[in-house]
Amino acid sequence: MSEQSLNVVGQSVLRRDGLSHVTGKTLYIDDIQFPDMLYLKMVRSPLHHARIQGIDFSEAEKVPGFVRAFTYKDVPKNIYTILCLIGVGPDEEPVLAEKEVLFKGEQIAAIVAQSEEAAIEAAARVKLDLEELPAVFDVEEALKPGAPILKPWGTNYFVYEGHHCRRVRFGNIEEGFAKADFIVEGCYEPKPIEHAPLETTGCVAKPEANGRITVYTNTQALYFSMDNTALILQVPFNKLHFVGGTVGGAFGGKVDVIVEPIASLAAMHTGHPVKYLYTREEEFHVSSTRVAYRIYFKDGVTKDGRIVARQVTSYADSGAYNRHTPYAATKHAANISGPYAIPNVHIDVHCVYTNRVPTSAMRGFGVTSASFATELQMDKIARTVGMDPYEIRLLNAYRNGDMRPYQKVVSDATLVEVIKSAAEMVNHPLGKRFQAMTSWDRPNSPAQPEPVSAEKRS
């Protein structure tokens, strides 16, 4: 595609929905109102880990406007896991808790009422009889003998095709360490973070006269949420109709499929539209967070600055349930060697359950933590061998034609170019050897593609 032939790709066309957003004309979930709409509020666990002995709705039922309560017994397929759609299993998260709760804030019972105030009041009057159980919060503690076991299969970790962690094996790690002049170790601990969207997670499920349910939702993935909802409700996929596509901030926080199944269930049972929209506090207290990691590095480095071996043991804190974290841990394993050519790599990433709010997808999904750890480790290596932080990255940067540790040949690498460009931008001097480097300087490199330059744009 020659530059002259492009008309509109590459042009800063005015954003189509911008004016609508900034003038308040865009409709979000909380703008949706129907005259006979009901409101759903959740009864949540006040404890991190507990056995449910009983639930008493008698005081809640007396609240004027109370319509109905729902428990796990009302949910056709109560135990699910979101990524079952791409073959991840086993099912392990309840829509509504059954015998046990595994985190503070877990959904136990849904209250539906004629007003939001009545739903809040009724939910507050539900009496829970809970027996507190010992809880575990630290990923390494959770793997030790004697830790409270959270999963029916008897361990606190996700099983990857028979392995207790996601493995990456490349080259020979012991031979790599034998060639090293320095061993550089580090432990990196990125903390959990909230997506903090302006629009909280929510939906309105509306029963139609033809028997279908229309779900207005701010999900990031309409079919994904719809298919999961249909499986949980055990209804044909085409009984559901999902409408959305304009989301008030998401950052990965709106792919968990928490609100749609229970709102749809309530709509089916009551015959009314039902709104389930997180309060700001729910968004912060019970929605999934970014995955926290504890990442141990052991790198073998030669005195001229080459990384010849990398051994990483990383613990992904999944919180109480899978959600998207088993997949994130795999993406983390693929990227924890960084954008560098390292001939000997040995990686174990453990996806660990704790009694904390589940973690899940968030912008950068497994790579944010990998980039954080590898880049702090690069500076540590640079200090150890006494090299410039730009030059050590240029020296180790992967090139086109190199093999990634997951055994894929690199073909779109431009790390050398961005580092050199940044050095030039900030007037950081580079040695001649480093200035001459490119991402296409390996003997087996493919030809360098023609870069797009601003001058070629009309």
Q: Which of residues 157-216 bind other proteins (CB under 8 A)?
A: 160-163, 166-170, 186-194, 196
Residue 397 contacts other proteins per CB under 8 A = yes
- Residues whose CB is less than 8 angstroms from the CB of residue 265 and which lie 6 or more positions away in sequence, other chains included: 70, 74, 75, 233
Residue 90 contacts other proteins per CB under 8 A = no
Residues in the chain: 458
Among 15, 62, 303, 433, interactor with other proteins by CB under 8 A? 15
Stretch that binds other proteins, among 58-66, 73-81, 111-119, 369-377 (CB under 8 A): 369-377
3-state secondary structure at position 263: helix
The residue among 98, 100, 103 whose CA lies nearest residue 75 is: 98
Least distance between other proteins and beta carbon 457 (Å): 8
Residue 41 contacts other proteins per CB under 8 A = no
Among 276, 321, 390, 434, interactor with other proteins by CB under 8 A? 390
- Angle between helix 325-335 and 367-385 (nearest 10): 30
Among 64, 89, 271, 449, interactor with other proteins by CB under 8 A? 449
By beta-carbon proximity to other proteins, the closer residue of 78 and 218 is 218
Residues in contact with other proteins, shown as a per-residue x/- string from 215 to 254 under the rule CB under 8 A? ----xxxxxx-x-------------xxxxxxxxxxxxx--
Angle (CA) 272-273-275 rounded to 5° is 130
Angle (CA) 402-310-448 rounded to 5° is 20
Please give the full DSSP string across 304-320, using - where no structure is assigned.
TS-EEEEEEEEEEEEET
Least distance between other proteins and beta carbon 428 (Å): 8
By beta-carbon proximity to other proteins, the closer residue of 102 and 112 is 102
Residue 137 contacts other proteins per CB under 8 A = yes
Residue 353 contacts other proteins per CB under 8 A = no
For residue 109, how many C-alpha atoms fall within 13 Å in the half-sphere facing its CB? 25
Among 176, 207, 300, 339, interactor with other proteins by CB under 8 A? 339
Residues 404-423 that bind other proteins (CB under 8 A): 405-408, 410-415, 417-419, 421-422
Bridge partners of 206?
214
Least distance between other proteins and beta carbon 54 (Å): 25
Least distance between other proteins and beta carbon 295 (Å): 9
Backbone angles phi, psi at 359, to 5 degrees: -100, 165
First-last CA distance in the chain: 15
Residues 43-72 that bind other proteins (CB under 8 A): 48
Among 78, 289, 311, 325, interactor with other proteins by CB under 8 A? 289
3-state secondary structure at position 20: helix
d(CA 437, CA 392) in angstroms, rounded, equals: 12
